[in-house]
Structure 1
Amino acid sequence: MGLIPEQHQNILKSVAFAHIATVGPDGSPQSSPVWFDWDGTYLRFGHTRKGQKFHNLQREPRVALSILDPENAYHYLELRGKVIKIEDDTDNHFVNAMAKRYMGLDVYPYRQPTDQGIIVTIKPEHFTAMG
Protein backbone atom coordinates (compact mmCIF):
# COMPACT_ATOMS: atom_id res chain seq x y z
CA MET A 1 0.00 0.00 0.00
CA GLY A 2 2.99 2.33 0.02
CA LEU A 3 3.58 5.06 2.57
CA ILE A 4 0.23 4.89 4.41
CA PRO A 5 -0.35 1.81 6.61
CA GLU A 6 -3.34 -0.40 5.88
CA GLN A 7 -5.04 0.47 9.20
CA HIS A 8 -5.31 4.11 8.05
CA GLN A 9 -6.41 3.54 4.45
CA ASN A 10 -10.07 3.72 5.54
CA ILE A 11 -9.62 7.42 6.37
CA LEU A 12 -8.35 8.11 2.87
CA LYS A 13 -11.28 6.22 1.36
CA SER A 14 -13.88 8.02 3.51
CA VAL A 15 -15.80 11.19 2.75
CA ALA A 16 -13.92 13.10 5.45
CA PHE A 17 -12.65 16.57 4.76
CA ALA A 18 -8.91 17.15 4.62
CA HIS A 19 -7.67 20.33 6.28
CA ILE A 20 -4.84 21.53 4.09
CA ALA A 21 -2.24 24.00 5.29
CA THR A 22 -0.22 26.11 2.90
CA VAL A 23 2.24 28.94 3.45
CA GLY A 24 0.84 32.43 2.90
CA PRO A 25 2.70 35.34 1.30
CA ASP A 26 3.90 36.63 4.69
CA GLY A 27 5.11 33.17 5.76
CA SER A 28 2.15 32.41 8.01
CA PRO A 29 0.18 29.16 7.66
CA GLN A 30 -3.20 29.19 5.93
CA SER A 31 -5.51 26.22 6.51
CA SER A 32 -8.89 25.28 5.07
CA PRO A 33 -11.01 22.15 4.60
CA VAL A 34 -11.16 20.54 1.16
CA TRP A 35 -12.78 17.55 -0.50
CA PHE A 36 -10.15 15.10 -1.64
CA ASP A 37 -9.56 12.01 -3.71
CA TRP A 38 -6.98 9.31 -2.96
CA ASP A 39 -5.78 6.88 -5.64
CA GLY A 40 -3.47 4.86 -3.39
CA THR A 41 -0.42 6.97 -4.19
CA TYR A 42 -1.48 10.58 -4.69
CA LEU A 43 -3.99 12.84 -2.99
CA ARG A 44 -5.91 15.31 -5.18
CA PHE A 45 -8.18 18.20 -4.39
CA GLY A 46 -9.92 20.88 -6.41
CA HIS A 47 -9.69 24.64 -6.12
CA THR A 48 -9.81 27.73 -8.34
CA ARG A 49 -7.08 29.86 -9.89
CA LYS A 50 -8.36 32.98 -8.12
CA GLY A 51 -8.12 31.49 -4.61
CA GLN A 52 -5.33 32.32 -2.17
CA LYS A 53 -4.45 28.64 -1.81
CA PHE A 54 -3.58 28.47 -5.54
CA HIS A 55 -1.24 31.45 -5.20
CA ASN A 56 0.32 29.98 -2.06
CA LEU A 57 0.99 26.66 -3.83
CA GLN A 58 2.62 28.34 -6.81
CA ARG A 59 5.09 30.05 -4.49
CA GLU A 60 5.61 27.19 -2.01
CA PRO A 61 4.56 23.64 -3.00
CA ARG A 62 5.05 22.06 0.44
CA VAL A 63 1.78 21.27 2.24
CA ALA A 64 0.45 19.55 5.33
CA LEU A 65 -2.97 17.91 5.58
CA SER A 66 -4.87 16.49 8.50
CA ILE A 67 -7.76 14.11 8.01
CA LEU A 68 -9.95 13.01 10.91
CA ASP A 69 -11.74 9.65 10.66
CA PRO A 70 -15.48 10.54 10.54
CA GLU A 71 -16.23 7.41 12.59
CA ASN A 72 -13.62 7.89 15.34
CA ALA A 73 -12.18 11.27 16.37
CA TYR A 74 -9.15 9.51 17.90
CA HIS A 75 -8.16 7.99 14.56
CA TYR A 76 -6.52 10.44 12.17
CA LEU A 77 -3.77 11.04 9.66
CA GLU A 78 -1.46 13.96 9.13
CA LEU A 79 0.30 13.96 5.76
CA ARG A 80 3.11 16.18 4.58
CA GLY A 81 4.19 16.37 0.98
CA LYS A 82 4.62 18.44 -2.12
CA VAL A 83 2.39 19.53 -4.94
CA ILE A 84 3.66 17.73 -8.02
CA LYS A 85 1.04 18.90 -10.49
CA ILE A 86 -1.61 21.58 -10.93
CA GLU A 87 -3.87 21.06 -13.92
CA ASP A 88 -7.01 22.72 -15.24
CA ASP A 89 -10.42 21.20 -14.55
CA THR A 90 -11.84 22.89 -17.63
CA ASP A 91 -14.73 20.45 -18.09
CA ASN A 92 -15.49 20.39 -14.31
CA HIS A 93 -15.01 16.62 -14.38
CA PHE A 94 -13.09 16.52 -11.09
CA VAL A 95 -15.29 18.93 -9.12
CA ASN A 96 -18.40 17.12 -10.38
CA ALA A 97 -16.92 13.76 -9.30
CA MET A 98 -16.24 15.25 -5.86
CA ALA A 99 -19.80 16.64 -5.70
CA LYS A 100 -21.09 13.15 -6.47
CA ARG A 101 -18.94 11.62 -3.73
CA TYR A 102 -19.54 14.25 -1.04
CA MET A 103 -23.01 15.59 -1.87
CA GLY A 104 -24.65 12.88 -3.97
CA LEU A 105 -25.05 15.39 -6.84
CA ASP A 106 -24.02 14.91 -10.48
CA VAL A 107 -23.03 18.55 -10.90
CA TYR A 108 -21.26 20.81 -8.39
CA PRO A 109 -23.90 23.47 -7.65
CA TYR A 110 -21.65 26.35 -6.58
CA ARG A 111 -19.32 26.70 -9.59
CA GLN A 112 -19.43 30.26 -10.92
CA PRO A 113 -19.03 30.99 -14.65
CA THR A 114 -15.86 32.98 -13.95
CA ASP A 115 -14.26 30.22 -11.83
CA GLN A 116 -11.24 28.59 -13.42
CA GLY A 117 -11.16 25.21 -11.71
CA ILE A 118 -7.91 23.38 -11.03
CA ILE A 119 -6.91 19.95 -9.76
CA VAL A 120 -3.98 19.88 -7.33
CA THR A 121 -2.02 16.63 -7.02
CA ILE A 122 0.05 16.01 -3.89
CA LYS A 123 2.64 13.33 -3.35
CA PRO A 124 2.74 12.45 0.36
CA GLU A 125 6.29 12.16 1.70
CA HIS A 126 5.70 11.73 5.43
CA PHE A 127 2.80 10.84 7.70
CA THR A 128 1.92 10.68 11.35
CA ALA A 129 -1.15 8.92 12.66
CA MET A 130 -3.14 8.11 15.73
CA GLY A 131 -5.43 5.19 16.31
Structure 2
Amino acid sequence: MTAEIPATYQDLLTGPVYVQLATHMKNGSIQVHPVWCGYDGVHVLVNSAKRRVKDRNMRANPNVTVLAIDPENPFRWLEVRGKVVEITETGADQHIDQLSELYIQQSPYPWREPGEVRVLYRIKPERVTAFSS
Protein backbone atom coordinates (compact mmCIF):
# COMPACT_ATOMS: atom_id res chain seq x y z
CA MET A 1 0.00 0.00 0.00
CA THR A 2 1.28 3.44 -0.92
CA ALA A 3 1.14 6.11 1.77
CA GLU A 4 0.28 9.62 0.64
CA ILE A 5 2.53 12.62 1.06
CA PRO A 6 0.39 15.44 2.52
CA ALA A 7 -0.02 18.27 0.01
CA THR A 8 1.17 20.77 2.62
CA TYR A 9 4.53 18.95 2.86
CA GLN A 10 5.21 18.17 -0.80
CA ASP A 11 7.26 21.35 -1.10
CA LEU A 12 9.94 19.63 1.00
CA LEU A 13 10.36 17.10 -1.81
CA THR A 14 9.94 19.41 -4.81
CA GLY A 15 11.94 22.43 -3.67
CA PRO A 16 15.69 22.73 -3.20
CA VAL A 17 15.66 21.01 0.21
CA TYR A 18 18.57 18.73 1.03
CA VAL A 19 17.10 15.49 2.36
CA GLN A 20 18.72 12.71 4.35
CA LEU A 21 18.60 9.27 2.73
CA ALA A 22 19.07 6.31 5.08
CA THR A 23 20.02 2.95 3.57
CA HIS A 24 21.14 -0.37 5.04
CA MET A 25 24.80 -1.42 4.84
CA LYS A 26 25.72 -5.06 4.26
CA ASN A 27 26.78 -5.41 7.92
CA GLY A 28 23.37 -4.18 9.13
CA SER A 29 24.42 -0.66 10.06
CA ILE A 30 22.67 2.39 8.63
CA GLN A 31 24.25 4.79 6.16
CA VAL A 32 22.80 8.31 6.01
CA HIS A 33 23.68 10.73 3.22
CA PRO A 34 22.37 14.18 2.33
CA VAL A 35 20.96 14.02 -1.20
CA TRP A 36 18.91 15.99 -3.67
CA CYS A 37 15.47 14.60 -4.37
CA GLY A 38 12.34 15.02 -6.41
CA TYR A 39 8.74 13.91 -6.25
CA ASP A 40 6.53 12.72 -9.11
CA GLY A 41 3.23 12.84 -7.22
CA VAL A 42 3.57 9.24 -6.04
CA HIS A 43 7.24 8.34 -5.62
CA VAL A 44 10.18 10.09 -4.01
CA LEU A 45 12.96 10.24 -6.61
CA VAL A 46 16.65 10.13 -5.78
CA ASN A 47 19.66 9.92 -8.05
CA SER A 48 23.14 8.52 -7.61
CA ALA A 49 25.88 6.88 -9.61
CA LYS A 50 26.16 3.18 -10.28
CA ARG A 51 28.40 1.27 -7.86
CA ARG A 52 28.40 3.94 -5.15
CA VAL A 53 27.64 2.73 -1.63
CA LYS A 54 24.07 4.09 -1.78
CA ASP A 55 23.54 2.23 -5.05
CA ARG A 56 24.85 -1.06 -3.69
CA ASN A 57 22.82 -0.66 -0.50
CA MET A 58 19.52 0.03 -2.28
CA ARG A 59 20.05 -2.88 -4.68
CA ALA A 60 20.71 -5.25 -1.76
CA ASN A 61 17.95 -3.92 0.53
CA PRO A 62 15.26 -1.67 -0.94
CA ASN A 63 13.97 -0.45 2.43
CA VAL A 64 14.95 3.19 2.90
CA THR A 65 13.99 6.30 4.84
CA VAL A 66 14.02 9.86 3.53
CA LEU A 67 13.94 12.74 6.03
CA ALA A 68 13.27 16.26 4.76
CA ILE A 69 13.65 19.17 7.19
CA ASP A 70 12.32 22.59 6.26
CA PRO A 71 15.39 24.86 6.02
CA GLU A 72 13.30 27.81 7.24
CA ASN A 73 11.67 25.98 10.17
CA PRO A 74 13.53 22.97 11.61
CA PHE A 75 10.38 22.08 13.56
CA ARG A 76 8.62 21.27 10.27
CA TRP A 77 9.72 18.01 8.75
CA LEU A 78 8.63 15.00 6.74
CA GLU A 79 9.79 11.41 7.18
CA VAL A 80 9.08 8.92 4.39
CA ARG A 81 9.75 5.26 5.04
CA GLY A 82 9.48 3.27 1.89
CA LYS A 83 10.77 0.80 -0.60
CA VAL A 84 12.81 1.34 -3.74
CA VAL A 85 10.46 -0.09 -6.37
CA GLU A 86 12.45 0.86 -9.46
CA ILE A 87 16.13 1.28 -10.20
CA THR A 88 16.79 2.52 -13.71
CA GLU A 89 19.38 4.28 -15.83
CA THR A 90 16.64 5.45 -18.19
CA GLY A 91 16.03 9.15 -17.60
CA ALA A 92 18.66 9.34 -14.86
CA ASP A 93 20.93 11.77 -16.75
CA GLN A 94 18.03 14.13 -17.41
CA HIS A 95 16.90 13.80 -13.79
CA ILE A 96 20.30 14.76 -12.32
CA ASP A 97 20.47 17.73 -14.71
CA GLN A 98 16.99 18.86 -13.53
CA LEU A 99 18.02 18.49 -9.89
CA SER A 100 21.25 20.37 -10.55
CA GLU A 101 19.30 23.24 -12.08
CA LEU A 102 16.92 23.30 -9.10
CA TYR A 103 19.55 23.04 -6.35
CA ILE A 104 22.57 24.93 -7.72
CA GLN A 105 21.19 26.66 -10.84
CA GLN A 106 23.60 24.78 -13.11
CA SER A 107 22.72 22.40 -15.91
CA PRO A 108 24.11 20.05 -16.92
CA TYR A 109 25.20 18.54 -13.60
CA PRO A 110 28.80 19.80 -13.18
CA TRP A 111 30.38 17.03 -11.09
CA ARG A 112 29.96 14.04 -13.37
CA GLU A 113 33.01 11.78 -13.28
CA PRO A 114 34.42 10.20 -16.46
CA GLY A 115 32.54 7.00 -17.25
CA GLU A 116 29.96 7.66 -14.54
CA VAL A 117 26.58 5.97 -15.03
CA ARG A 118 23.71 7.80 -13.34
CA VAL A 119 20.89 5.85 -11.74
CA LEU A 120 17.36 6.95 -10.81
CA TYR A 121 15.60 5.34 -7.82
CA ARG A 122 11.83 5.48 -7.33
CA ILE A 123 10.83 5.13 -3.68
CA LYS A 124 7.27 4.08 -2.90
CA PRO A 125 6.15 5.68 0.39
CA GLU A 126 4.86 3.06 2.84
CA ARG A 127 4.72 5.14 6.00
CA VAL A 128 4.72 8.92 6.18
CA THR A 129 5.15 11.08 9.26
CA ALA A 130 4.78 14.85 8.99
CA PHE A 131 5.36 17.30 11.83
CA SER A 132 5.14 21.03 12.32
CA SER A 133 5.04 23.31 15.32
Sort the TM-score into its range (normalised by shorter chain): over 0.9
Deviates more, 1:7-16 or 1:45-54: 7-16
Task: Tell me the amino acid that sits aligned with residue 121 of structure 2.
Answer: V
State the TM-score, normalized to the length of structure 1.
0.93
Task: Tell me the amino acid that sits aligned with residue 127 of structure 2.
Answer: H
Q: Which residue pairs with 1:8 in the alignment?
A: 9
**CA positional deviation for 1:18:** 1.2
Unaligned runs of 5+ in 1: none
Does structure 1 conserve the Cα–Cα contact (< 8 Å) formed by 2:84 and 2:122? yes
Does structure 2 conserve the Cα–Cα contact (< 8 Å) formed by 1:68 and 1:77? yes
Unaligned runs of 5+ in 2: none
Which SS does the other structure have where 1:129 is aligned?
strand
Which whole-Å CA distance do the structure 1 matches of 2:52 and 2:92 have between them? 19
Q: Which residue pairs with 1:84 in the alignment?
A: 85
Q: Which residue pairs with 2:110 in the alignment?
A: 109
**CA positional deviation for 1:90:** 7.1
Task: Tell me the amino acid that sits aligned with residue 19 of structure 2.
Answer: A
Which whole-Å CA distance do the structure 2 matches of 1:16 and 1:109 have between them? 19
Which whole-Å CA distance do the structure 2 matches of 1:29 and 1:91 have between them? 25
Aligned: 1:121 with 2:133: no
Task: Tell me the amino acid that sits aligned with residue 78 of structure 2.
Answer: L
Which whole-Å CA distance do the structure 2 matches of 1:19 and 1:62 have between them? 14
**CA positional deviation for 1:11:** 1.7
Q: Which residue pairs with 2:58 in the alignment?
A: 57
Q: 1:55-104 CA deviation, whole Å, 9 max, x = no partner?
A: 11111000011000122111000110000001115772111111111111
Q: Which residue pairs with 1:17 in the alignment?
A: 18
**CA positional deviation for 1:40:** 1.4
Kindly tell me the number of residue pairs found equivalent between the two proteins.
130
**CA positional deviation for 1:116:** 1.1
State the TM-score, normalized to the length of structure 2.
0.91
Q: Which residue pairs with 2:72 in the alignment?
A: 71
Q: 1:98-122 CA deviation, whole Å, 9 max, x = no partner?
A: 1111111121110011211100110
Task: Tell me the amino acid that sits aligned with residue 57 of structure 2.
Answer: N
Which whole-Å CA distance do the structure 1 matches of 2:85 and 2:125 have between them? 10
CA RMSD of aligned residues (A): 1.5
